[in-house]
Amino acid sequence: MVQTSARVISRTWLRKIWTGGQTVETCPSFCTDNHRNDDIGALDDLQHGVEFEGPELAVFNVEDGTAEWPVLAGRINVDPYNEDAKRRVPHVNLNVFKDEVMECLSPDDFAAVIAAVRAH
């Protein structure tokens, strides 16, 4: 039996900086970003992170009708060269909801929303 594996992206690489110089970058243990285009760029363009999903809820949108939309999804992120010290350490960017409204929920519909958020 032949086993195949996904291509492993190096978690440490040499990065050239547009303004001159270079640096060796190493991903934190939680990082799942592929960094394919991060071998050259501005110093503060680099981010490390991992996405996380939120529960999907049936939401009404005037243009599209009812569709499943994720809520409480986000990303654990670190911007190692950002000027803001809070962004240089791991932090969460939470997408609470995407500018959509849930209308006319019955008591059972509302209970289902609460249950989905609790389960998440």
Q: Report percent pLDDT > 90 for the chain.
A: 42
Task: Give me the pLDDT at residue 64, please.
Answer: 81
Work out the number of other CB atoms within 10 angstroms of the CB of residue 31: 18
Cα 69 to Cα 57: distance, rounded to the nearest angstrom? 5
The amino acid that residue 62 corresponds to is V
Average pLDDT of every residue of the chain: 84
Q: What is the Cα gyration radius of the chain?
A: 20
pLDDT, residue 97, reads: 81
**Residue 3: beta bridge partners?**
none
Tens digits of per-residue pLDDT, 5-43? Answer: 344 455 999 999 999 999 999 999 999 999 999 999 999
Determine how many CB atoms are found less than 10 A away from the CB of residue 30.
12
Is this prediction's pTM over 0.85? no
* pLDDT bucket at 4, cuts 50 / 70 / 90: very low
